[in-house]
Amino acid sequence: MSQHNADALKAAFAAADAGDPGPLVALYSDDMTWAGFTLDGSLRLYSKGEFLEAFGVLAKLDESRNEVVDCEVIDDELVVAKVRAYRRLGSEELDITMVMTHRFVDGVVTRGGDLVPSSFEKFWATVGIAA
């Protein structure tokens, strides 16, 4: 089951990058909580709606991509994904690998979290975009 979850995660991110967010939205449980970061690099808990709303900031950029480059499957429920995140606004670029953890229950993500390198918040501070 875990490899199936990893494959679903990769496919959902690929679809979102191609302009179809449906599979990614469906992959996250409606009552999911996510321990994530803000644009200034601080951490907070997000509901599914808040988590998906935060992706709206990407529309303010000239270019953005998220690609799952590797997944590690742990036991039956956990998938750790290394995600290449590319962002560009004007001449400012961010090209990082972030780590996202996912707990799957019955084929959907119920809990998760991510961590980014410090260049993430430096990029957002430089381009002057806040959520």
Q: Which domains does the chain have, with CATH numbers?
A: 2-127 (3.10.450.50)
| Torsion region of 54: left, alpha or beta (phi above 0 gives left; psi -120 to 50 gives alpha) | alpha
Complete DSSP assignment for 70-123: EEEEETTTEEEEEEEEEEEETTEEEEEEEEEEEEEETTEEEEEEEE--THHHHH
Mean pLDDT of 99-106: 96
Task: Please state the three-class secondary structure of 10-40 as a single string.
Answer: HHHHHHHHCCCCHHHHHHEEEEEEEEEECCC
With bands split at pLDDT 50, 70 and 90, how would you rate the model's confidence at 104? Answer: very high
- Percentage of the chain lying above the pLDDT 90 cut: 78
With bands split at pLDDT 50, 70 and 90, how would you rate the model's confidence at 1? Answer: low
Q: Which of 102, 101, 84 is nearest to 93 (CA)?
A: 84
With bands split at pLDDT 50, 70 and 90, how would you rate the model's confidence at 54? Answer: confident
